[in-house]
């Protein structure tokens, strides 16, 4: 099950009892990767997304992991920094930070005052970057306290680590910009810090080299993907999780093939797979596994439905982010029919 932001926390970004029910319903997934979760306080990009930096949040997540484990499931936590996708109205007026002072322009952010344009972020100084790495490390420690089975480092979809990776958002000329090696430096430092906590075999990494969501672009996504694939062989990661395409179809190409050819570890594909294509990709050894996102929103028993070829419930995008039970815990199981 792919990570899916659903904005169902209670006050102070604390995971709710409703979230425990939601994830427990989906415990039959081979692995649940829980939604993007703030590693560091003050970096909200979704208003009611969860955090993992406070004692209350750890307690809330412990209810989730206990519920999933009780059903026999496994669950990783995706830890994340929103970067320039954050907004002052979500963070007590604080200006968001990024590798460079370049704003998101192709969408707006949902705030307590309605939809608002993104603001120009403040460029992070070199002196601030170690605190970002430390924040990911602390989040990994807290995820362990909360009972997770591992963590996924979020370096995709136009959030902070991805902003450093791709040259459309990273215009720096110091050791964290320009070359691919420099642009990847912060991601690899955060990844190493998390591996130091968990052991690399309990850590995954998610990337999206083609996705233009949040105004993202790279001048050579194939070169970036190939370089990362080779460099990540220095880790013994649980998996590399790759979003293969672009939500907006502005950037096209095949990033999975060069990654597969150069990466020796477990490779998970994501974005737009149905059961048949997923089965074919694994059978052909193009991938080791496939993650499903939207399919799991509407089908808590998705694996069982795939196994017997049952029809799928259709999701309702209107309530993806609205909070409450509707469109979250009220989708029927096969046994309900």
Active-site annotation, residues: 159
Going by the DSSP 8-state scheme, the letter that residue 124 receives in this structure is P
- Residue 91's Cβ-count burial label (10 Å; 0-12, 13-18, 19+) is middle
* Helix (H/G/I), strand (E/B), else coil: 12: helix
* Helix (H/G/I), strand (E/B), else coil: 314: coil
Angle among Cα 47, 52, 53 to the nearest 5 degrees reads 100
Residues near 226 by Cβ (< 8 Å), separated by ≥ 6? Answer: 258, 259, 262
Handedness of CA 279, 153, 4, 107 (dihedral sign): negative
CA 31 to chain centre: 14
- In 161-273, at which residue ranges do the beta strands (DSSP E only) sit? 203-207, 239-243, 267-270
Angle among Cα 3, 5, 11 to the nearest 5 degrees reads 130
Residues near 132 by Cβ (< 8 Å), separated by ≥ 6? Answer: 40, 81, 124, 160, 186, 190
Going by the DSSP 8-state scheme, the letter that residue 119 receives in this structure is P
């Amino acid at each position: 099950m792919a990570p899916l932001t659903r904005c169902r926390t209670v006050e102070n970004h604390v995971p709710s009892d409703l979230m425990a029910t939601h994830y427990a319903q989906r415990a039959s997934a081979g692995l649940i990767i829980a939604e993007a979760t703030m590693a560091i306080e003050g970096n909200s990009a979704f208003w009611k997304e969860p955090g993992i930096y406070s004692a209350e949040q750890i307690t809330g997540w412990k209810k989730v992991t206990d519920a999933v484990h009780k059903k026999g499931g496994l669950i990783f936590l995706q830890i994340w920094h929103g970067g320039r996708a954050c907004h002052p109205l979500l963070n007590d007026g604080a200006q968001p930070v990024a590798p460079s002072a370049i704003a998101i322009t192709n969408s707006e952010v949902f705030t307590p005052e309605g939809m608002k344009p993104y603001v120009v972020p403040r460029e992070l100084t070199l002196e601030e970057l170690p605190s970002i790495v430390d924040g990911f490390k602390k989040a990994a420690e807290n995820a362990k306290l909360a009972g997770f089975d591992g963590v996924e480092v979020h370096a995709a979809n136009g959030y902070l680590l991805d902003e450093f990776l791709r040259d459309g958002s990273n215009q720096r000329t110091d050791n964290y910009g320009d070359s691919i090696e420099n642009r990847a430096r912060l991601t690899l430092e955060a990844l190493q810090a998390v591996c130091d906590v968990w052991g690399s075999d309990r850590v995954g990494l998610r990337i999206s080299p083609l996705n233009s969501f949040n105004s993202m672009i790279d001048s050579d996504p194939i070169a970036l993907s190939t370089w990362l694939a080779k460099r990540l062989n220095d880790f013994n990661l649980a998996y590399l999780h790759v979003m293969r395409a672009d939500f907006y179809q502005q950037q096209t190409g095949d990033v999975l093939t060069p990654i597969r050819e150069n990466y020796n570890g477990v490779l998970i594909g994501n974005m737009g797979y149905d059961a048949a294509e997923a089965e074919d990709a694994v059978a052909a050894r193009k991938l080791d596994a496939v993650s499903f996102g939207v399919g799991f929103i509407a089908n808590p028993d998705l694996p069982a439905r795939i196994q017997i070829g049952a029809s799928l419930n259709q999701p309702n995008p209107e309530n993806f982010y609205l909070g409450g039970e509707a469109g979250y815990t009220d989708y029927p199981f096969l046994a309900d029919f």
